[in-house]
Structure 1
Amino acid sequence: MAFRNTNTEYVNVRRVPSTPISNSDKNLLRVVLLSFGLLCIIQATLNVTLRIFLDESDTNALELNEICKNFTDQKRSDFDQYFRDGWVYFNTSLYYISPAKRNWQDSRGFCLQRGADLIVINSREEQEFIRRFHRFMWIGLRNTTARTWIWVDGTPLTRRYWGPGEPNMGNDEGCVESRFFEVQDTWNDLNCNDQNFWVCERAMAR
């Protein structure tokens, strides 16, 4: 009931009793908290597992951070876009592993349109890096009209990782793929019109 006079208005305020938390609500809260804790554990486990399988060393991470310190904001934005598009970082370069197949020339065209080119393999570490992806993939090595093997950047072939019996130069095999067999040396010469996956490489210039 409210009492009113000419000067002041008074209102009776009733106290609303608090509703006790039921046992079922308590159990639900426990389940939610437990689930959240399990998710945190799973996330931590996944992070460790991915680091092991992808061999992402702390050294590489620090090296990438050091390089990026010297990038302009525009360059950082550009490389962020590469990462969003599925490119991966290894030893100062960005790489794209194709999800589809094309012939050698079309594969190279894909890379060139993105400011890259087919991979030029300069070291054993780089050769081992692309073997991890377990695919037959075009690399940037081809045979010229002078029957000389040359990389897409114009450099001659010096380090060689040919598979057993390769190159055999059969059936107009003027382009090169890298395979993923158990042996370390996996290159195979192949007809350039064959369909294959491919690897793009983009050097991280400052």
Structure 2
Amino acid sequence: MAHRNINMEYVNVPKTPSSSSNDQKWLRLVLLSFGLLCILQATLNVTLRIFLSTDTNALDLDGTCKNFTVKKKEDFAPFFQDNWVYFNTSLYYISTAKRNWENSRRFCMQRNADLIVINSKQEQEFVRTFHRFMWIGLTMTQGKWMWVDNTPLTTSYWGPGEPSMNLENEDCVESRFFEVEHTWNDLKCEDINFWICEKIMPL
């Protein structure tokens, strides 16, 4: 009886995974990732809707915050071209000519401004930096020092010995002693002086 030769080379050898099964695993992984991304996107959309719906009360209908006006750069350009200077919330014009107090104020008012009203230490320091004798918007009115905006004088920066009232009718005020913190000096309104205008430009 003839015996067949049996080749044992492939007995009990595990099968190698086919390429089609690998492709299926990658496909499942891609689909799972895509599903997770969809869930994340939906969550973000819901969160944004809730946030925007609850936050609209803090905004005006035009999308700007209440009581806050944004001034564009173009709004200031004409003033800068005419040598106005921006500080804090106002524009200031420092004259290069001299006039009496009344004509100085008229110049400011023709430009929808007025002589400066100094209502803070920072503004007082700002005026000092120009090292120039200048009219400010303070005058004697019915025995009281009043600003041009009809507010009474509360905080003052009178120079040493001022207001002197040595001469009659020294009813107007200039910033004079710029080398010290307190610079104000009372003067006759008819005297000739430089001046400083202020135009309030709130942001």
| TM-score calculated relative to the size of structure 1 | 0.62
| Residue number in structure 2 paired with 1:70 | 70
Residue 129 of structure 2 is matched in structure 1 by 132
Counterpart-to-counterpart distance in 2, 1:158 and 1:178: 17
| Contact 2:116/2:196 (8 A) holds in 1 | yes
2:172 and 2:118 map into 1 onto residues whose CA distance is 14
What is the aligned partner in structure 1 of residue 160 from structure 2? Answer: 164
Alignment counterpart, residue 173 of structure 1, candidates 170, 175, 191:
170
Contact 2:133 2:193 (8 Å CA) reproduced: yes
Out of 180, 190, 194, the residue aligned to residue 193 of structure 1 is: 190
Offset at 1:97? 0.3
CA–CA distance in structure 2, aligned partners of residues 139 and 111 of structure 1: 11
Aligned residues: CA RMSD: 1.7
State the identity as a percent: 66
Unaligned runs of 5+ in 1: 1-67
Q: Choose the corresponding residue for 1:142, options 129, 139, 143.
A: 139
| Secondary structure of 2:149 counterpart | coil
For residues 151-206 of structure 1, the C-alpha deviation after alignment (integer angstroms, 9 at most, x for no partner) is 00010001100011111222310000001442210100000000000000000035
Match of 1:58 in 2: none
Q: Which residue of 2 aligns with 1:13?
A: none
Within 2, Cα distance between the matches of 1:185 and 1:178?
9
Structure-2 residue corresponding to 1:61: none
Question: Which consecutive segments of 4 or more residues in structure 1 shift more than 6 A?
Answer: none
- AA in 1 matched with 2:173: V
Question: Partner of 1:81 in structure 2?
Answer: 78
Shift of 1:70: 1.5
Unaligned runs of 5+ in 2: 1-67
Secondary structure of the structure 1 residue equivalent to 2:102: helix
Counterpart of 2:107 in structure 1 is 110
The whole-number CA distance in structure 2 between the counterparts of 1:194 and 1:168 is 16
Say how many residue pairs are matched.
135
Q: Tell me how far 1:147 sits from its aligned partner.
A: 1.0
TM-score scaled by structure 2?
0.63
**Larger Cα-atom Rg:** 2
Question: 1:139 Cα deviation (Å)?
Answer: 0.1
